[in-house]
A and B are shown apart, each in its own frame.
Chain A
């Protein structure tokens, strides 16, 4: 069931001309995926794996669209090469709305393992990273989207359990 925060995120995407979204689901992203799927003006193409999704985004960008990928932080484990040799090498602006599993409030112990690597990977890859820990921080999203287009880089927006838990 979508919340106000999910609708606000999608409105921010529309306001910033994001018109192509690919996603691999995460339960924290369920609401925002539900809304994007029903939104005119954004083409939502679910993908099977996040590196595949980055290929779709690269193609959509070169065709003139403005893409975004929704995924879980565990996906960093399968996208490092695509980030380096496609998104970064060809300078493709790609905001990544990431469900940051494994933080406080996480019920699944295994998720903590990739959480421990998440910021280290992003730091090592020189990917601008914004960690949203409370729902009020969503006001930073429009600026982050503009920043992504300006610098033509992949940009990580980490949204943890506290962020989603504090959201209405």
Chain B
């Protein structure tokens, strides 16, 4: 199962939660499947989805889901230590781990080889870390939302992307409608 298929499965699971989505294909796919004001699309800045999500979770009581990628987390590995030391129970980090840099041509990542991001997250102090298959991920997200405990989910997917249009929405529009949703 590739990320696009996983995001389709997650559509009924993620409803009014705030979503911060990783740059490139993940945001483009989410935008095509389920565009809504509660989605914050990153149009640049690889690696910071988890950091934006954590910062947001510190500022609101609403549930925040950061949809990140293995390549993105690898580029900002320190984020797991910050998350592990600043747990917020309204925060879920969903790492779509397809072992590749999807937006740039599916070049392999180290997470697809010898590196376990789940073990890194545990070593960084994250208490609840779930590694699961893509098919198991919707239930893992449901459980995390119900548990009200900060959860790191490492979802093992197949490499691959669906070609979706580039997001042409103005960044200020993305930001402002998202902030309006946060404040609602």
> Contacting A90 at CB < 8 Å: which of B57, B172, B183?
B172
CA distance A55 to B55 in the complex (A): 7
A57 partner residues in chain B, CB cutoff 8 A: 55
Are B58 and A55 in contact, with the CB atoms below 8 A?
Answer: no
CA distance A61 to B176 in the complex (A): 11
Contacting B at CB under 8 A, from A87-115, are 89-92
Q: Is A54 part of the contact surface with B, judged by Cβ < 8 Å?
A: yes
Name the distance in Å between B125's Cβ and chain A's nearest Cβ: 13
CA distance A58 to B42 in the complex (A): 11
Are B44 and A64 in contact, with the CB atoms below 8 A?
Answer: no
CA distance A28 to B149 in the complex (A): 38
Q: Is B179 part of the contact surface with A, judged by Cβ < 8 Å?
A: yes
Name the distance in Å between B38's Cβ and chain A's nearest Cβ: 11
Q: Is A166 part of the contact surface with B, judged by Cβ < 8 Å?
A: no
A43-B58 in contact given A55-B45, A55-B52, A89-B43 (Cβ < 8 Å): yes
Q: Chain A, interface size: which category?
A: 20 to 34
Q: Is B59 part of the contact surface with A, judged by Cβ < 8 Å?
A: yes
B179 partner residues in chain A, CB cutoff 8 A: 62, 64
B48 partner residues in chain A, CB cutoff 8 A: 51-52, 54-55, 58, 82, 86
B residues at A contact (CB < 8 Å): 20, 40, 42-45, 47-60, 76, 78-79, 81-82, 86, 171-172, 174-175, 178-179, 182-183
Are A90 and B171 in contact, with the CB atoms below 8 A?
Answer: yes
> Contacting B82 at CB < 8 Å: which of A43, A47, A62, A65?
A47
Chain B facing A: main interface SS: helix
Are B78 and A62 in contact, with the CB atoms below 8 A?
Answer: no
> Contacting B182 at CB < 8 Å: which of A43, A52, A62, A86?
A62
Q: Is A77 part of the contact surface with B, judged by Cβ < 8 Å?
A: no
| 10 additional contacts (CB under 8 A) given A62-B179, A63-B58 | A51-B47, A52-B82, A53-B51, A55-B52, A55-B79, A56-B55, A59-B51, A63-B57, A82-B45, A90-B174
Are A63 and B44 in contact, with the CB atoms below 8 A?
Answer: no
Are A60 and B58 in contact, with the CB atoms below 8 A?
Answer: yes
A46 partner residues in chain B, CB cutoff 8 A: 82
CA distance A84 to B42 in the complex (A): 13
Name the distance in Å between A70's Cβ and chain B's nearest Cβ: 15
Name the residue in B43, B51, B172 with the highest tally of chain A Cβ atoms < 10 Å from its Cβ: B51
B57 partner residues in chain A, CB cutoff 8 A: 59, 63
Q: Which single residue of chain B is at the shortest CB-CB distance from A91?
A: B172
Are B59 and A63 in contact, with the CB atoms below 8 A?
Answer: yes
Are B45 and A86 in contact, with the CB atoms below 8 A?
Answer: yes
A82 partner residues in chain B, CB cutoff 8 A: 45, 48
Name the distance in Å between A113's Cβ and chain B's nearest Cβ: 24
Are A64 and B58 in contact, with the CB atoms below 8 A?
Answer: no
Are B183 and A64 in contact, with the CB atoms below 8 A?
Answer: yes
> Contacting A52 at CB < 8 Å: which of B42, B51, B56, B60?
B51
Are A60 and B44 in contact, with the CB atoms below 8 A?
Answer: no
Are A64 and B82 in contact, with the CB atoms below 8 A?
Answer: no
